[in-house]
Amino acid sequence: MSQPIAAPARTRSQTLQQRAERLFPGGVNSPVRAFRAVGGAPPFLESAEGAWLTDVDGNRYIDYFGSWGPMILGHAFPPVVEAIERAARKSASFGASTAAEGDLAERVIACYPAIEKLRFVSSGTEATMSAIRLARAATGRNVIVKFEGCYHGHADGLLVKAGSGVATFGIPGSAGVPDAVAHLTLALPYNDLTSVEAAFAAHKGEIAAIILEPVVGNAGCIPPAEGYLEGLRTITRREGALLIADEVMTGFRLALGGAVERYKMEPDLITLGKIVGGGLPVGAFGGKRELMDLLAPLGPVYQAGTLSGNPLAMAAGIATVAHLQEHAGEIYPQLEATAKAIAEGVAAEAAKTGVALTTNHIGSMWTWFFTSNPVTNYDEAAKSDTAAFGRFHRAMLDQGIWLPPSQFEAAFLGAAHGEAEVRATIAAARAAFQSL
């Protein structure tokens, strides 16, 4: 008989949560942080270093969400911290052009040959919203195709079967989104080319673009089926629509050139975020010169951002991307091997205790779905036992393992995770499954 897992003291976190609930809706500034999907109260974090988080009560946790993706080199990575400090001494913001914008852009373009020009923005939501506006202007069409469970930010037209926090709370879209806007978005099953062909046949000459996460991360980690991405490229070229690869999550994570490199994609536009800013708020979108030159001040498509290209974000991004470029041959195989060891090691512990689990893993991202069935799209992910995931999440957290607080979020690790973290995680999972 296994012993119950005791929760560590989180007295100060509880006090801070009570204050937060008086100040913020739900006590948070982003919904998934509330832990509503997994139960329990969220610890308040105070610091982090490498692969470890420390909360305000002094409890330490191995981090498997990495600020939702960007901490690929670990928290407080010294070259990034030093770069931010140097930039801050000169001013946190100018609202004018700096050389650092071009320095980071050159590094991004070197990793993404499909990008000839880009524009920096302040978030992934801005990047995808702007890419769609550009696609509509370039094609003269209005309808956008997205895929169920893919999240492209909280712009009105993209909150249709959007996965992530929306899936967590079981909301099909969002209040406040006009029907007229939602009707311009077609949400199709991921990994299903037949539905895409049918959509183009039913909306001949109306579809401006397909936007997708090449590897879904916001319904849990769901890789593309063989031939799926190539099929989307064939259909869009034939039909005169654009293909937008949303690499806000996968960019620089699945390879130096992201999913585009890993799957040899040929998108028209690419959106980036998270890692490209080294953990600071930043996004980017880019593509062929003739498309990007439609943006103001050269063209008729207006897009602007007062703090776009913020010097602190540019400094953090340069330090992060430069390190990845210089050490790609070591970092990416290490990330893959460590993630594989954790994903498969935990799955093996589930099998020993008879817990139904399906593991999806690609590169340094993965999800343990609490179901015995394969997960290749959002509908299959939604059949997972979310209550069981919640119990598992709480048991892991109480043992110092911080997983994403939703069955419908991918887990990530960084270069700072090593053999000690692998062993500790598998041992915690063994105890957690026994307690379930």
**Tokens 């099998």 correspond to what residue?**
351
Q: What is the pLDDT of residue 162?
A: 47
Measured between alpha carbons, how far is 103 from 106 in angstroms, rounded to an integer? 5
CATH code for 11-75+328-435?
A: 3.90.1150.10
- Residue 61 appears among annotated catalytic residues: no
**What is the tens place of the pLDDT at every residue in 365-378?**
999 999 999 999 99
Whether omega for the bond prior to residue 189 falls within 30 degrees of 0, making it cis, is no
Q: What is the pLDDT of residue 161?
A: 54
Q: What percent of the residues of the chain are helix, what percent strand, and what percent coil, each to the nearest 5?
A: 45, 15, 40
Contact at 8 Å (CB) between 108 and 118? yes
Catalytic site residue from 151, 228, 263, 332: 151
Q: What is the pLDDT of residue 17?
A: 96
Name 193's Cβ contacts closer than 8 Å, sequence gap at least 6: 227, 228, 231, 232, 235
- Residue 274 appears among annotated catalytic residues: yes
Q: What is the pLDDT of residue 153?
A: 85
The domains of the chain are located at 11-75+328-435, 78-323
Q: What is the pLDDT of residue 145?
A: 96
Strand partners, 53: 48, 61
DSSP string, 215-239: SB-BTB-BPPPTTHHHHHHHHHHHH
Q: Coil, helix or strand for 121?
A: strand
Residues of the chain scoring pLDDT < 70:
1-3, 156, 159-174
- Residue 112 appears among annotated catalytic residues: no
Q: Coil, helix or strand for 250?
A: coil
CATH code for 78-323?
A: 3.40.640.10
Domains 11-75+328-435 and 78-323 share a fold: no
Catalytic site residue from 228, 274, 332, 398: 274
**What is the tens place of the pLDDT at every residue in 107-135?**
999 999 999 999 999 999 999 999 999 99
Q: What is the pLDDT of residue 160?
A: 67
